[in-house]
Amino acid sequence: RPIAAAALGATLLTGCQQANQSLFIGDMSSAYNREIWWMSVWAIVLSIIIFVGVSYALFYTVQKFREDRHDAPPAQFHGNNRLEVILVAVPVIIVFGLSILTVRSMAILNPTPEQATKIDVLGKQFWWNFAYPETTSDAGGVVTNGNEMIMPTKQPVALTITSGDVIHGFWAPNIGGQRAAMPAVQKTWQVDTERAGAYQGNCSQLCGASHANMRYKVVALDQERYDATLAAMKAYRAPEPDPGSAEARGYALFMQGKSSTGAVSCAACHRVQGTPAGGVAGPDLSFFGTRRTLGAGMWEAMTAAKWEDPKAAKQLSDWLKNSPRVKPGSLMPTYDGSEYRNTKGELVKGGTLTDAEIDDIAAYLRSLQLPEEADYWRDSP
């Protein structure tokens, strides 16, 4: 029986490992995370000792000086130098000890290593953009799929974190903690991991209606595959759809902004590498067909069967028709004729697309895939 219990426990823990978002349990292959883990454990142990000590002193005093145990009033005196020195000294020592722990960890966690891979992180209501700055690596200029960050293993990765609107929080504990994403402020933070695989991230600051729908995935790849993947992304040009195909009709709707019933504005807000679509208000859609989540982690149905899964196809078409309905606060216009709130917060009438037109746009988006060998999800469950 104990063996069965241990096996069950191990199975449960393994199941948690990928998506686990805890500082204390799960994957420990990040040196930055281990540093934060140590500091937290020390702080908690110290706090427990203090709590037990204070509680003991309290109950001891209450018991020992109960009124019914004493006939006479207790000794009356004014001031006690020794006691007062102790009362000041003990908290000072405790605070000093905690600061040493903190300063030590800060000295390890804060400096940006010069050779580190650099990634620009941008939080927006309600999704994440990950870009690789032009100046620092061969991957310069690459923007990954929204809410999917790709990083190399076995080295520090330097993040520059900011926000496009309100305060968000970059939080991926298994690769090394969290940092606030603030508008007009660039915060730096380092993460790392020794293990290739997918890690879960989330927004950690209450930021609006879809705060809980602001998840992201971090895919860590060993150096060689990382380089190859980012090079493939940099070299990528969206495939030209075959004339007359659903993809070609979707392409035309996406780019030209005209449907059978009115205006569509995909290209105004979204970029597709190698096409005239260069909008940056919404997530980059260059490799849309390679992504495995939709709506910043709201759906992960594409994980196994990818786009062939009818459930995934339904999610995508629901999304294209009325994204604010499925994700509150989404700034994407509606295309089922209903009203939506624009970026200024005004209630405006949405566009209209027929089901066939929605399917065409979905077909075009699904065709935007990285070459098989550059599929960074390949080895991730």
Residues 342-381 that bind ligand CUA (CB under 6 A): none
Residue 211, interface with ligand CUA (CB under 6 A)? yes
Residues 119-138 that bind ligand CUA (CB under 6 A): 123, 126
CB nearer ligand CUA, residue 205 or residue 275: 205
CB nearer ligand CUA, residue 206 or residue 263: 206
% helix, strand, coil for the chain, step of 5 = 40, 20, 40
Q: What is the 3-state secondary structure (H, E, C) of 105-127?
A: HHHHHCCCCCCCEEEEEEEECCE
Residue 295, interface with ligand CUA (CB under 6 A)? no
- What the block records as the tokens of 95 is 């605070």
C-alpha atoms less than 13 angstroms from C-alpha of 24 in its C-beta half-sphere: 5
Q: Which of 137, 134, 128, 185 is nearest to 157 (CA)?
A: 137
CB nearer ligand CUA, residue 30 or residue 163: 163
Residues 173-192 that bind ligand CUA (CB under 6 A): none
Alpha-carbon span 348 to 325, nearest angstrom: 14
- What the block records as the tokens of 202 is 């989330």
CA angle 347, 352, 358 (to 5 degrees): 125
Q: Which stretch binds ligand CUA (CB under 6 A): 19-27, 130-138, 201-209, 264-272?
A: 201-209
Per-residue contact flags (x/-) with ligand CUA for residues 1 to 20, judged by CB under 6 A: --------------------
- Among 139, 156, 168, 290, the residue binding ligand CUA under the rule CB under 6 A is 168
Residue 214, interface with ligand CUA (CB under 6 A)? yes
Cβ of residue 181: shortest distance to ligand CUA, in angstroms? Answer: 8
Residue 207, interface with ligand CUA (CB under 6 A)? yes
Alpha-carbon span 120 to 141, nearest angstrom: 11
C-alpha atoms less than 13 angstroms from C-alpha of 50 in its C-beta half-sphere: 13
CB nearer ligand CUA, residue 127 or residue 335: 127
Residues forming contacts to ligand CUA in the complex (CB under 6 A) are 123, 126, 168, 203, 205-207, 211, 214
